[in-house]
């Protein structure tokens, strides 16, 4: 075996291609004691990319609480794991695939789903649910409609084909996402305790297997591509986007799950971003050993591939296994049964090195410590933007452009508040026969076989006030996730996060990131929801224009008694309607800052973000859960986007029943111009709209009184209209048409309103 020869210093464009800075390059040379060759440099660039190393965000992420008695595995593995009792574990994670989806929407979104599924079954867990959080520009724009339709197609295609239900999600449209769509996919899986597999290599001499797709030139530099901003040349980066094969992944999934629990299986790892390089380096590093990969033993899709291309390819649907020496043929036979090709591509070695060979010659050798943690952490300067003064503006001073009832219908017919059925009817949300509540509910709900409880899950992103108040807006997302779970009766267990931000080298963006993570840490700690996995997507920026900070959170929880679950829709005429939470908030009693109404009516973002009282949120969520657990409620719905009026209308529309309530707050004499919109559409936090049998009134009131949660009975279900007395009233049928047409009316104008 020959010694790796010294390389020559790379040129500036070469470093740029690898997304390495001069400083990082020098740090690598210093630690290595020589100039790395091109293969080694490529491997360093991939593993030191933001996507793999979290070099910018790592320092911040340390603040996040990851402990709890239920936590089996926190951040650092393929997915987080919590114990849900009776020997069962729940593994879950959310991840972004924003950059690829912007360039090639169908494949970008599809492989995002494929990647997160692999993360979960790499743990030995059977994926049981997918959720998505997607954001685009305005649907009035043809290009946005096309991108949106194709992302939905891609998510659906992969999930439908592989047979894992897509049970929930969140969609939002705003001009700020027109150049950088967001595609975040979450996967939830279940494993028995003894099936849990770790992504670790151990036992020098043990063989390393690569199974699944042959390795091609697709996706080379995918990790680095995701770590730079998109520009006019982004289309040319299409080769950095991978192509998905859900059928192959289905076979991989079944084969891998057959092998979990096998005593000869030592480690299993998804081959994701940065391909073989990152999967092998991470496994070896975790096991405190080294790894040697023979690039020429990797089956290839194309001729003439160099070790560089083999080691950095992001070809999809590949898994890496470390098995006990001598067992490799047994494993290969098991894969063959599923029609899968596998190769022994290397072995575990004692020295903590990542050694690459080609035809018996050593072509690369890097210390694992250097690859995994040798990068200099980046601490870009953070400073708040000058436009923070906009927080001090009074949003209630704006003159409303529409009468209240008109505004109500406009909100309901907007794509952000309207019915999202157009999206999720394209997703198989039932396969697996466990979906009790699918998309369209506050939280998705899956039954767990042979036990009375159920698994609830939701995804929620930061409040629209995030650019000006990232800390509060992120904490609001955590609270909203908890509220969504509470509405189906579930107690949160843990959360996963995907932090979508712009270019952290801009002080304003770095400030947003710092503030947002602080808000997440504070809310997660106060509400007792550990953060067990996550992903960071930076550089969501185009021509200097950044997306609004968009942390997306996936929260998983348990419903104690599935038979007591309630939905968001009203169930029976004459049931009473109650508002849980504060009737008034903010200096004027009503809040409008950062609301969806403000965006639609004025196109502005100004005024203070909604107030948030985390202690009160914890109490009210517990009270709602308790009322549901006692069988006292008929419906519960989180009061969020669009405020009280939109929430009321949604409960009415989901139940197909009208309703009439009184205003929770009198309009004072001399009220500011936008007081009534604030009352109806303000996004005051900590609120739920519930309905219940009149006979249960005393018991319901007692539950909320005991938890010191404000509660007011506002009205009753029934009638042909949806009304807030004296302020606004809309016809149930007209509201239904407006709401149902919100997306199809824009996507398929000729079929508007038809479901």
Q: What is the smallest separation between the CB atom of 156 and another protein, expressed in angstroms?
A: 5
Strands 490-500 and 531-537, bridge-based pairing: parallel
Q: What is the smallest separation between the CB atom of 744 and another protein, expressed in angstroms?
A: 10
Measure the CA–CA gap between 352 and 526, rounded to whole angstroms: 40
In the bound state with another protein, the residue whose beta carbon lies nearer, of 106 and 327, is 106
In the bound state with another protein, the residue whose beta carbon lies nearer, of 62 and 301, is 301
Among 54, 92, 157, 704, binds another protein (CB under 8 A): 157
Among 15, 35, 391, 431, binds another protein (CB under 8 A): 431
In the bound state with another protein, the residue whose beta carbon lies nearer, of 251 and 417, is 251
Q: Is 750 exposed, middle or buried (0-12, 13-18, 19+ CB in 10 A)?
A: exposed
Cβ atoms of 265 and 335 closer than 8 Å = no
Q: What is the smallest separation between the CB atom of 333 and another protein, expressed in angstroms?
A: 14
Among 227, 279, 435, 500, binds another protein (CB under 8 A): 435
Q: How far is CA 678 from the centre of its chain?
A: 30
Span near another protein by CB under 8 A; candidates 14-22, 63-71, 158-166, 671-679:
158-166
Site for another protein in 560-579 (CB under 8 A): 562
Extract the runs of DSSP E, i.e. beta strands, from 466-546. 490-500, 531-537, 541-542, 545-546
Measure the CA–CA gap between 381 and 623, rounded to whole angstroms: 43
Does residue 338 belong to the site contacting another protein (CB under 8 A)?
yes
Span near another protein by CB under 8 A; candidates 155-163, 593-601, 605-613, 656-664:
155-163
- Per-residue HEC secondary structure of 39-84 comes to HHHHHHHHHCCHHHHCCCCHHHHCCCCCCCCCEEECECECCEEEEC
Query: CB under 8 Å to 167, separation ≥6 — which residues?
Result: 129, 130, 131, 429, 435, 437, 438, 439, 444, 446, 457
In the bound state with another protein, the residue whose beta carbon lies nearer, of 212 and 346, is 212
Size of the residue set binding another protein (CB under 8 A): 31
Does residue 48 belong to the site contacting another protein (CB under 8 A)?
no
Measure the CA–CA gap between 700 and 576, rounded to whole angstroms: 11
Among 447, 619, 662, 697, binds another protein (CB under 8 A): 447
Q: What is the smallest separation between the CB atom of 233 and another protein, expressed in angstroms?
A: 32
DSSP string of 305-360?
--HHHHHH---SSEEEEEE-TT-HHHHHHHHHHTT--EEEEEEEESSSEEEEEETT
Among 21, 202, 299, 426, binds another protein (CB under 8 A): 426
Query: CB under 8 Å to 667, separation ≥6 — which residues?
Result: 675, 676, 679, 727
CA distances from 466 to 128, 177, 184, 469 (A): 32, 14, 18, 5
Among 109, 123, 162, 601, binds another protein (CB under 8 A): 162
Does residue 628 belong to the site contacting another protein (CB under 8 A)?
no
Cβ atoms of 668 and 725 closer than 8 Å = no
Measure the CA–CA gap between 89 and 455, rounded to whole angstroms: 11
Site string for another protein, 671-710 (x = CB under 8 A): ----------------------------------------
Q: How far is CA 637 from the centre of its chain?
A: 22
97 is catalytic: yes
Does residue 428 belong to the site contacting another protein (CB under 8 A)?
yes
Q: What is the smallest separation between the CB atom of 436 and another protein, expressed in angstroms?
A: 6
Query: CB under 8 Å to 380, separation ≥6 — which residues?
Result: 56, 504, 505, 507, 510
Q: What is the smallest separation between the CB atom of 564 and another protein, expressed in angstroms?
A: 12
Q: What is the smallest separation between the CB atom of 382 and another protein, expressed in angstroms?
A: 44
Does residue 301 belong to the site contacting another protein (CB under 8 A)?
no
Q: What is the smallest separation between the CB atom of 426 and another protein, expressed in angstroms?
A: 5
Q: What is the smallest separation between the CB atom of 163 and another protein, expressed in angstroms?
A: 3
Does residue 737 belong to the site contacting another protein (CB under 8 A)?
no
Q: Return the H-helix or E-strand segment holding 444.
A: strand 444-447
Measure the CA–CA gap between 637 and 651, rounded to whole angstroms: 7
Does residue 134 belong to the site contacting another protein (CB under 8 A)?
no
In the bound state with another protein, the residue whose beta carbon lies nearer, of 124 and 534, is 124
**CA nearest 723: which of 617, 600, 577?**
577
Span near another protein by CB under 8 A; candidates 172-180, 243-251, 667-675, 676-684:
243-251
**CA nearest 694: which of 581, 577, 571?**
577
Measure the CA–CA gap between 569 and 652, rounded to whole angstroms: 6
Does residue 427 belong to the site contacting another protein (CB under 8 A)?
yes
Measure the CA–CA gap between 115 and 94, rounded to whole angstroms: 10
**CA nearest 442: which of 610, 641, 627, 684?**
641
Does residue 160 belong to the site contacting another protein (CB under 8 A)?
yes
Q: What is the smallest separation between the CB atom of 508 and another protein, expressed in angstroms?
A: 40
Among 96, 144, 245, 269, binds another protein (CB under 8 A): 245
Q: What is the smallest separation between the CB atom of 204 and another protein, expressed in angstroms?
A: 35
Measure the CA–CA gap between 500 and 95, rounded to whole angstroms: 10
Helix crossing, 246-259 with 328-337: angle to 10°?
130
In the bound state with another protein, the residue whose beta carbon lies nearer, of 157 and 570, is 157
Site string for another protein, 257-286 (x = CB under 8 A): ------------------------------
Does residue 131 belong to the site contacting another protein (CB under 8 A)?
no
Place of tokens 């939701």: 458
Which two structure tokens, joined as six digits, stand for 633?
A: 């409620």
In the bound state with another protein, the residue whose beta carbon lies nearer, of 69 and 449, is 449
Question: Is 477 strand, coil or helix?
Answer: helix
Does residue 171 belong to the site contacting another protein (CB under 8 A)?
no
Which two structure tokens, joined as six digits, stand for 603?
A: 């196109």
Cβ atoms of 103 and 711 closer than 8 Å = no
Place of tokens 């008109």: 406
In the bound state with another protein, the residue whose beta carbon lies nearer, of 92 and 427, is 427
In the bound state with another protein, the residue whose beta carbon lies nearer, of 383 and 755, is 755
Among 85, 87, 288, 339, binds another protein (CB under 8 A): 339
Among 124, 127, 156, 686, binds another protein (CB under 8 A): 156
Q: What is the smallest separation between the CB atom of 396 and another protein, expressed in angstroms?
A: 42
Strands 688-692 and 721-724, bridge-based pairing: unpaired
In the bound state with another protein, the residue whose beta carbon lies nearer, of 447 and 525, is 447
Which of 97, 221, 429, 588 is labelled catalytic? 97
Place of tokens 């009205």: 715
Q: What is the smallest separation between the CB atom of 337 and another protein, expressed in angstroms?
A: 8
**CA nearest 100: which of 244, 270, 300?**
244
Site for another protein in 62-81 (CB under 8 A): none
Cβ atoms of 716 and 660 closer than 8 Å = yes
Span near another protein by CB under 8 A; candidates 1-9, 32-40, 240-248, 309-317:
240-248
Query: CB under 8 Å to 131, separation ≥6 — which residues?
Result: 94, 166, 167, 168, 169, 185, 186, 188, 444, 457, 458, 459, 554
Site string for another protein, 383-422 (x = CB under 8 A): ----------------------------------------
**CA nearest 255: which of 194, 305, 211?**
211
Among 81, 109, 251, 293, binds another protein (CB under 8 A): 251
Does residue 436 belong to the site contacting another protein (CB under 8 A)?
yes
Cβ atoms of 282 and 199 closer than 8 Å = yes
Span near another protein by CB under 8 A; candidates 26-34, 239-247, 511-519, 571-579:
239-247
Does residue 335 belong to the site contacting another protein (CB under 8 A)?
no
51 is catalytic: yes
Q: Which residues bind another protein (CB under 8 A)?
A: 153, 156-157, 160-163, 245-248, 250-251, 338-339, 424-436, 447, 562, 754
Positions annotated as catalytic residues are 51, 97
């Amino acid at each position: 075996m020959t010694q790796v020869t010294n390389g020559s210093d790379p040129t500036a464009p070469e470093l740029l291609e690898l997304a390495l800075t001069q400083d990082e390059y020098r740090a690598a040379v210093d630690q290595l004691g020589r100039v790395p060759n091109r293969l080694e440099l490529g491997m360093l660039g991939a593993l030191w990319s933001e996507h793999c190393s979290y070099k910018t965000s790592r320092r911040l992420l340390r603040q996040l609480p990851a402990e709890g008695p239920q936590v089996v595995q926190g951040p650092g593995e393929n997915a987080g794991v919590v114990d849900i009792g009776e020997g069962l574990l729940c593994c879950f994670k959310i991840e972004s695939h924003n950059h690829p989806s912007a360039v090639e929407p169908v494949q970008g979104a599809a492989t995002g789903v494929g990647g997160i599924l692999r993360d979960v079954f790499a743990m030995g867990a059977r994926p049981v649910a997918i959720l998505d959080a997607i954001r685009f520009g305005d649907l009035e724009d043809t290009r946005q409609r096309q991108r949106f339709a194709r992302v939905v197609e891609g998510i659906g295609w992969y999930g439908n084909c592989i047979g894992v239900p897509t049970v929930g999600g969140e969609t939002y449209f705003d001009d700020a996402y027109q150049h950088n769509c967001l595609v975040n996919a979450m996967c939830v899986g279940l494993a028995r305790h003894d099936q849990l597999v770790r992504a670790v290599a151990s036992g020098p001499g043990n063989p390393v297997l690569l199974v699944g797709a042959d390795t091609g030139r697709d996706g080379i530099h995918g990790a680095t591509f995701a770590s730079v901003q998109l520009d006019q040349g982004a289309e040319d980066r299409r080769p950095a986007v991978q192509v998905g094969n859900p059928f192959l992944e289905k076979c991989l999934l079944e084969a891998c799950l057959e092998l979990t629990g096998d005593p000869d299986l030592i480690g299993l790892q998804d081959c994701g971003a940065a391909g073989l390089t990152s999967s092998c380096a991470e496994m070896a590093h975790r096991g405190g050993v080294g790894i040697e990969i023979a690039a020429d033993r990797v089956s290839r899709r194309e001729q003439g591939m160099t070790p560089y291309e083999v080691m950095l390819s992001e070809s999809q649907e590949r898994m890496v296994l470390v098995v006990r020496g001598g067992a490799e043929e047994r494993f290969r036979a098991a894969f063959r049964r599923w029609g899968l090709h596998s190769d022994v591509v290397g072995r575990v070695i004692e020295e903590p090195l990542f050694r690459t060979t080609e035809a018996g010659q050593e072509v690369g050798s890097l210390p694992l410590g250097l690859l995994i943690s040798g990068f200099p952490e980046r601490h870009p300067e953070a400073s708040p933007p000058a436009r923070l003064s906009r927080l001090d503006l009074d949003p209630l001073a704006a003159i409303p452009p529409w009468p209240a009832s008109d505004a109500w219908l406009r909100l309901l017919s907007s794509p952000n508040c309207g019915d999202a059925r157009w999206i999720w009817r394209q997703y198989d949300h039932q396969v697996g026969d466990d979906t009790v509540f699918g998309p369209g509910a506050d939280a998705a709900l899956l039954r767990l076989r042979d036990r009375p409880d159920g698994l609830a899950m939701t995804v929620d992103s930061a409040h629209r006030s995030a650019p000006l108040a990232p800390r509060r807006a992120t904490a609001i997302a955590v609270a909203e996730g908890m509220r969504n779970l509470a509405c189906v009766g579930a107690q949160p267990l843990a959360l996963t996060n995907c932090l979508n931000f712009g270019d952290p080298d801009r002080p304003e963006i770095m400030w947003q990131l710092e503030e947002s993570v602080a808000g997440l840490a504070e809310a997660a700690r106060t509400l007792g929801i550990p953060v067990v996995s996550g992903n960071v997507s930076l550089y969501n920026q185009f021509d200097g224009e950044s997306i609004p900070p968009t942390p997306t959170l996936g929260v998983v929880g348990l419903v104690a008694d599935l038979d007591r679950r309630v939905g968001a829709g009203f169930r029976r005429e004459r049931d009473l309607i109650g508002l849980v939470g504060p009737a008034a908030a903010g200096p004027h009693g009503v809040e409008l800052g950062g609301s969806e109404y403000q965006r639609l009516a004025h196109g502005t973002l100004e005024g203070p973000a909604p107030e948030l009282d985390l202690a009160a949120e914890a109490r009210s969520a517990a009270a709602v859960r308790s009322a549901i657990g006692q069988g006292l409620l008929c419906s519960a719905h989180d009061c969020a986007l669009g405020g009280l009026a939109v929430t009321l209308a949604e409960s009415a529309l989901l139940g197909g029943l009208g309703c009439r309530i009184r205003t929770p707050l009198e309009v004072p004499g001399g009220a500011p111009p936008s007081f009534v919109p604030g009352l109806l559409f303000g996004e005051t936090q900590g609120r739920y709209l519930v309905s219940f049998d009149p006979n249960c009134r005393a018991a319901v009131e007692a539950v909320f009184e005991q938890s010191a949660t404000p509660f007011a009975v506002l009205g009753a279900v029934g009638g042909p209209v949806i009304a807030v007395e004296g302020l606004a009233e809309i016809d149930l049928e007209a509201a239904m048409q407006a709401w149902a047409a919100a997306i199809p009316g824009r996507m398929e104008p000729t079929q508007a309103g038809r479901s």
